[in-house]
Structure 1
Amino acid sequence: MALALLVVGLVTVFVVAGLRQDDKARTRERAALLTSLRARETVMEQALVATNDEREALRQLALGDMTSLHRRFGVKLNDGFGFEFVYISDAKGRIIYSSERGEQNQLRAYSWIRPAIERALADGQKAALSGVVATEDAAGLMVARPFEEKVEGLDVAQPLVAITVDVIDPEFLRMVGAPASLEEVELIHRPQHGGRHAGVFIPNLYDGSEAELVWRGAHPGSRMLWGLMPAAVVLASLLAVLFLVLMVRARRMASDLVASEAKARELAARDYLTGLLNRGAFIEALDAAIARHRDGETLALLFVDLDDFKAINDGAGHVAGDDLLRAFARRTEEALGEGSVVARFGGDEFVAVVHCRGEGDLDRTVERLFAALAPPVPLERGGELSLSACVGAARLPQDAATGAELMRLADVALYQAKADGTGLYRLFEPGFDAARVERRRIELELAAALDKGEITLVYQPQVDVESERIVGFEALARWDHPTQGRLLPGAFLAVAEASRLMGRFDAYVLRMALLEARALPGVTLSVNMSALNLRQGAIYDMVAAALAETGFDPALLEIEITESAILDAESEGQEALQKLRDMGVRLALDDFGTGHASLVHVRRFPITKIKIDKSFIFNMGVDRDASAIVEYVVRLGRSLGITLTAEGVETREQLRFLRAFGAQQAQGYLFAPPLPLVAAVAMLERQNAADAGATPDGATASR
């Protein structure tokens, strides 16, 4: 009897312990599954931020360029991350752009997603929204993120909302359940109770109800009990040993589940590509570092942005771009050393917190970083790429007192470094903020000027040195600012290049020049193009489109590119120049002599004209070296069959030198300043009338 009571008591203990173990396992499984689901949401949010260049997307929406938006946004999210549905809606839930399984303008699946979006917008949702949307027919994990900026010129309710959906299918459920080793995970649209599956309720964004995730539970306690019950009844003396075995195994399983949960939390805090902290985890680390900060110490925040990463990513491919990002992350962590915190915010934007112990410590840290980035990066598919970056830094407590302010000022310093060039470091100075605001003002006003037609053109004649007859005009841009009057290019072109307005500006000027130059027949038209368009290989498409639209004769068009831009051109830029030359367009090398080019070097390019910089012309007759350089360039250019044009000719003495040297063309105030189109037309008509033997008023000239 005592033994029976003992057996019954031990069995009861085992049963209770097993059931409790099952309950704990289910609790841990629920937590692990929810953590894994949240980690997937975080990955989708990061992918949406990394893929969506908000300013570029808004620009493309305003222009109606849905094809480019689809390629840069919808296709990337579908092909690169496997997110089947991508939309952009206005603040009332009306779809502006859609992509379903990589196909543009598809809305077959939007019917079961729309109620979730409309409910969120009706509640005044301003931050990112994420969660499960489930109906009887379909289910998906949705992330909706409002745009921070508003798009000008688009008649829709704002802010716009970017939406992406990952369809919840068996593969998705297997991936979500894998971190917790869960099997047969299913999503139930209408919750069920009981059965052999464990379950957890989650909000259903479709209608505000609840959906249920169910899975086949591990039931470790039950399995153990069924195995031990016969032995417990027959061999009561071994129950203690078996109980110990059960407890050891239970602890091991609990430890595995805890480790799985920790791994899921770690994944949710990490950037999926580089393994660095993501934005949320970094901000927590920054706040913790500030809380530990002591008087007398300096905490530096570094914003780091890779130089020309977009061009590398587009030219070498996304695989090479990913190799570059991983190499940059690894080298940055090694260079900054132990105690620093490095994170990736998305794209090629990195940030780091560094503890500085004394004066000059921050400068030495940045020097180590630049030295670590200097060696070329070998690529997995062969070849290598150079790596450089701009760095902006701000310090606590010298520059800021809070984490948010520290990040803002470091970003301002980075903006200044990028505006000054590539591979540069700038420590925040109070003047940077004012300069950034001024550049932003110019950028917004210049964009508006292009919309309003405030950019006008003037034309400076180019003449034959011997006859002083007009042989061409150079089109020069001027900005008729509504409050500041007429502005020269030096006041705004640098901002245009830094803000990615340059392509739009060049296309505007080229098209206007080709339209207006139809009033200047029989002479060439010279138009300046930015080095940015040449580096990106976009110059050919831009010129070809403008010629096709206006019907202008390609043989009368001359594109001017600076010396440094041509010598820095990659293969795509060189190919674009050759294609322009093949269609008859002339190519002029502007400001020759200000860089490091030589005529022998220039022979690699299809150049038809070289324009000698006005600084050499100004010093002719005064500086013997300047005269010798001009004479040498003219003679060598003639021997190579290249036309030489002297810029900035202001005196007859300078013209006599050019005639003696054999220069073919000249341009400058000696002949005329840049003229409005009407004055340029009148000047050309007077010359044509004189050539025809008549005065400008039509009277016959005496012979």
Structure 2
Amino acid sequence: MLYWSARISDESAKHSQHMLIKGAVQLSQDYLSKQQTGVVIWEDAYHIVNAAEPDESWIYANMTHWLFQNHGFTKSVLIGRDFQVQNIYAYNHSNRWMTQDLLDDLSPAVAKVRARYITSFQRTPSGLFRYTPKNHEAQRSIAETGVVSVNGDPYLFSAAAIVPRVLSITQERVPPVTLVSLAPLRGGKLKDISEMSHLDGFVLADTQSDRSGVGQYQLRSPRGKNVGIIAWQTYLPGSQMLDRIHPFLAFAAFMIAAVVIAVTVFTRQMTKRLAKSESQAVHTARHDALSGLPNRTRFHALLNDTLEQSFEDGTNTAVVYIDLDHFKDINDTLGHSAGDKVIVAVGQRLRRVIPESGIVARISGDEFAMVIKDCKSDEWLEYILDQVQDEIGRPIMIGQRELFASLSMGTAIAPRDGNDPDELLRKADIALYDAKANGRSRRSFFEPNMEQQVQSKDKLSRELRRALNNDELDLAYQPQSDTDARQIVSVEALARWTKADGTIVSPSVFIPVAEESGLINDLGLWILNKACAKAHDWPGMVVSVNVSPNQFKHPRFVEKVLAILSANNLPPQRLEIEVTESVFAGRNDSVLKALRRLKNLGVKVALDDFGSGYSSLSYLRRFPFDTLKIDRDFVSDMNGNPEAEAILVSIIQLGKALGMTVVAEGIETVEQFRFLQAHECHRLQGYFISRPLNENDLTTFLDTFQYVGSAGFDAKTGYPPRLAKG
């Protein structure tokens, strides 16, 4: 009975250790998949890798190299929709690691990813396909993980479909581009598995050995090929116990009962130890390492359980999506260490201020989510959210420095807004977007019209992209005269969009949509190219083009501007780039470098809407602009207002003192025109001079203007009159 008990104990220990290794390997693979999520669920990545000519430098900088720098993926490969390798980035500067055998070994995992992606589309009544992942995959990547051999060395891999974050609709289902990222098992990953399992003598071997006391876990590729062996020194409590009592067996037969009890207790302790290690591993997989709060996966499971319980009880449950306002500024100015401390402090305060039955989770980055159970009314919930904002608004001490944080919150309530966890999270996110769009540091409750607005913006974005691809947009040009109104010295190019059905879309509507959807770069370059092409029709005049702050974030913006000037054979001195103060947000030195490069090449740079921001003078000190455009609000407020007139005169004198050309826009009355003329404002722009005109009307206007000379202007028609009126 003693030997039998020892053998059973050893076998149980071996089995427990084997399962522990298996679980640790699986947890490591799952973690690789989570590390990939940031680059595979991303609109920019989806559109770039699916482009006719993918931008390989962008893919390298923002996907493969980023994964290497941040998560240790030493090898990455893009597998296209036709199951062909598109790009390989191997950080040992050799592409020979991707062999046909390796690709064949990876193909079952890639095929599963492609199949799961295809089956995630459901046909809608209109005949289109809606992207509706199963098993809540919209909240995480569609990925398969495993182990393969690369040149004889075992590598962990994660193969994930590159998909957009926003719900998409398409005419036909096509396979996705798949990103396969590999990390070597030897080194850090093997050490992590060893630490999770708490086993001794942990090594990675190529072949199997039958040595006594050595546990072995066989690693197999998706094709079932042997990749390697994880071996460790087995802990055999039964054998150790027998070794200790052998000398005394003949003299201690009467101690058998006590020994059996000892074995039982010892085995139980070992089981508890293994169970504790497994519990710690499970906790790590379900919780955020920084804040200790539940992560996205755990939060989704808790939310699902809560909704089921609230449905049975007939109570209301609130789902709150939270985003820290301007958190990036903290990381940029004080470093990521300070940002991490802010995240921890915010998580602790959220946990402390909500009801005890509530749930708080960290979703990602600076995003949190809460579940508040048994909501008695909207007013009661507003009171709770007021307490949350007040608590977060208290200063956070980072060393000797006080930091102040604020939250934007979006709320959806079950069952009023639905009972499905994914649906509630989506609607809470829509409400959060509304809160941020209306000034941040506030909260919004989901309303049906918010969803309509999101869908409307998505539709408008797709229509704008189609109109841009089909060259269906137009430009209007608003003239600027000199001080004496003797000649037109410049025109400002303005985008106009009239749909095929005759509907006119205001720039104030489609420009923000272009900013949000990432179309602003293409739209801005289209406007710049067309304006430069038409500039030859009006020789001697400067053409002004507004440039969005997002355009300056493009690493090759300056080169694209120069290419457009060269293609249209336009001297740089005839182009004026108009920027607003927002282009300097975040104190990005790359923006200043781009502006200086353009200015040094001869392109004029104008500061638009001067005076509308709180730090205009600091921008004049940081960058020597060629032109200063006075915000139209100062001109519209000047009529009979001594303070407004004094400010206008001061701005004109300031611009002259700094050697800049001063432009006043928004001139609508003869009194405004004469006042600015009396104070020698260099250039004048507004409806009093002329409304924005199309190409043909502008040519007619210029011919008439040159014929009349300094006769003055008719504010109704926008054209100069035939007779001067003084």
TM-score w.r.t. the length of structure 1 is 0.84
Q: Distance in 2 between matches of 1:102 and 1:516?
A: 50
Within a 5 Å distance, the mapping from 1:323-362 to structure 2 comes to 325-336=343-354, 338-355=356-373, 357-359=375-377, 360-362=379-381
Query: Which residue type is aligned with residue 33 of structure 2?
Result: E
Quote the residue 2:269 is aligned against.
252
Following superposition of structure 1 onto structure 2, how do residues 492-641 of structure 1 map, counting pairs within 5 Å? 492-533=510-551, 543=561, 547=565, 552-563=570-581, 573=591, 576-578=594-596, 580-596=598-614, 602-603=620-621, 605-618=623-636, 620-621=638-639, 626-627=644-645, 629-641=647-659
* CA gap 1:681/1:403 in 2 versus in 1, 3 angstroms: same
The residue aligned with 1:46 is 34
Residue 86 (structure 1) aligned to one of 65, 76, 91:
76
What's the counterpart of residue 483 of structure 1?
501
Whether contact under 8 Å (2:149, 2:227) holds in the other structure is no
Report whether the alignment pairs 1:662 with 2:676: no
1:70 aligned partner, one-letter code: Y
1:469-517: CA deviations, max 9, x gaps? 1111111111243334443311211222223333343333233323332
**Which of 3, 10, 25 is the aligned partner of 1:37?**
25
SS of the aligned residue for 1:662 comes to coil
* Contact map agreement 1:649 1:666 (CA 8 A) in 2: yes
Q: Deviations over 1:171-220 (max 9, x none)?
A: 53343133222244566778777854334556530347897654331112
Partners of 2:35 and 2:304 in 1: how far apart?
25
Partner of 2:85: 95
Letter in 2 for 1:483: D
Letter in 2 for 1:76: W
Q: Return the offset for 1:682.
A: 5.6
Distance 1:454 1:386 in 2: 47
Question: What is the distance in 2 between the residues matched to 1:93 and 1:324?
Answer: 44
Q: Which amino acid aligns with 1:115?
A: D
Residue of structure 2 in register with 1:119 after alignment: 108
Q: For residue 383 of structure 2, what is the aligned residue in structure 1?
A: 364
CA–CA separation in structure 2 for the residues paired with 1:206 and 1:397:
47
Shift of the alpha carbon at 1:79?
2.1
Pick aligned residue for 2:287 from 262, 265, 270 = 270
In the alignment, structure 1 segments of 5+ residues that lack a partner are 1-12, 692-703
The answer to whether the 8 Å contact 2:606/2:625 transfers is yes
Instruction: Specify the code of the residue in structure 2 equivalent to 1:75.
Output: H
Give, in angstroms, the shift of residue 456 of structure 1.
Answer: 2.7
| Structure 1 position 87, deviation (Å) | 1.9
Question: Residue 139 of structure 1: CA displacement?
Answer: 2.5
| Residues in 2 aligned to 1:376 and 1:656: alpha-carbon distance in whole angstroms | 52
Is the alpha carbon distance of 1:609 and 1:139 closer, same or farther for their aligned partners in structure 2, counting shifts above 3 Å? same
1:279 corresponds, among 274, 296, 300, to: 296
Which residue matches 1:442?
460
Note if contact 2:319-2:372 (Cα within 8 Å) is conserved in structure 1: yes
Q: Deviations over 1:370-427 (max 9, x none)?
A: 34444676779x9887644432111112322232221121122123233334333211
Whole-angstrom distance in 1 between the partners of 2:567 and 2:2: 86
Instruction: Compute the displacement of 1:240 (Å).
Output: 4.9
Q: Deviations over 1:131-155 (max 9, x none)?
A: 22358823222221223349999x9
Q: How does 1:291-306 map to 2 (within 5 A)?
A: 291-293=308-310, 295=313, 297-306=315-324
1:129 pairs with one of 130, 133, 144: 144
- Report 1:366-515 matches (<5 A): 366-374=385-393, 387-515=405-533
Query: How far apart in 2 are the matches of 1:541 and 1:596?
Result: 32
- Partners of 2:445 and 2:656 lie apart in 1 by 50
Q: For residues 377 and 509 of structure 1, what CA distance do their matches in structure 2 show?
A: 46
What is the alpha-carbon distance in structure 2 between the residues aligned to residue 254 and residue 477 of structure 1? 71
Q: Is the 8 A contact 1:477 1:488 kept in 2?
A: no
Matched, 1:205 2:222: yes
Structure 1 residue 348 displacement after superposition: 4.0
1:20 aligns with 2:8: yes
| Contact 1:370–1:388 (CA under 8 A) maintained in structure 2 | yes
Structure 2 CA distance for partners of 1:108 and 1:249, relative to 1, 3 Å: same
Distance (whole Å) between structure 2 residues aligned to residue 366 and residue 102 of structure 1: 52
Deviation of 1:99 (Å): 2.0
Paired with 1:210 and 1:567, the residues of 2 have a C-alpha distance of: 51
Alpha-carbon spacing, 1:475–1:505, altered in 2? closer, same or farther (3 Å): same
- Equivalent-residue separation in structure 1 for 2:553 and 2:616 (angstroms): 20
Task: Show the counterpart of 1:179.
Answer: 196
Q: Which of 132, 140, 147 is equivalent to 2:162?
A: 147
Q: Which moved more, 1:114-123 or 1:659-668?
A: 114-123
Q: Give the TM-score taking structure 2 as reference length.
A: 0.81
1:232 aligned to 2:220?
Answer: no
Partner of 1:164: 181
Deviation of the 1:596 alpha carbon: 4.4
**CA separation of 1:658/1:318 partners in 2, compared to 1, >3 Å: closer, same or farther?**
same
CA contact (8 A) 1:186 1:214 kept: yes
In structure 1, C-alpha distance between the alignment counterparts of 2:419 and 2:173, rounded to whole Å: 40
Q: Partner amino acid for 2:383?
A: R
Give the residue type in structure 2 aligned to 1:366: L
Q: Distance in 2 between matches of 1:447 and 1:275?
A: 43
**Residue number among 300, 305, 314 corresponding to 1:288 in the alignment:** 305
Provide closer, same or farther for how the CA distance between residues 314 and 164 of structure 1 changes in structure 2, counting only shifts above 3 A. farther
SS at match of 2:579: strand
Equivalent of 1:65, from 55, 64, 69? Answer: 55
Matched residue type, 2:382: D
CA distance in 2, matches of 1:324, 1:547: 47
Question: What residue ranges of structure 2 are gaps of 5+ in the alignment?
Answer: 118-141, 710-726
**Residues 618, 579 of structure 1: alpha-carbon distance in 2 compared, 3 angstrom cutoff:** same
Question: What's the CA shift for 1:617?
Answer: 3.7
Distance 2:332 2:103 in 1: 34
The amino acid of 1:283's aligned partner reads H
Deviation digits for residues 588-622 of structure 1, max 9, x if unmatched?
A: 33334545466688555423433334444445546
8 Å contact from structure 1 (residues 618, 649) kept in 2: yes
Q: Deviations over 1:663-693 (max 9, x none)?
A: 22211233332223344456556777999xx
2:130 corresponds to: none
Task: Give the Cα separation in 1 of the matches to 2:70 and 2:102.
Answer: 22
Summarize deviations over 1:27-60 as a string: whole Å, max 9, x none. Answer: 2112211221121122111101134452111233
1:10 is matched with none
Cα root mean square deviation, aligned: 3.9
Tell me the distance in 2 between the aligned counterparts of 1:79 and 1:157: 31
Give the 3 Å change call, closer, same or farther, for CA 628–314 of structure 1 in structure 2.
closer
Q: How many residues align?
A: 676
Q: Distance in 2 between matches of 1:659 and 1:632?
A: 15
| Deviates further, 536-545 or 295-304 | 536-545
1:31–1:261 Cα contact (<8 Å) kept: no
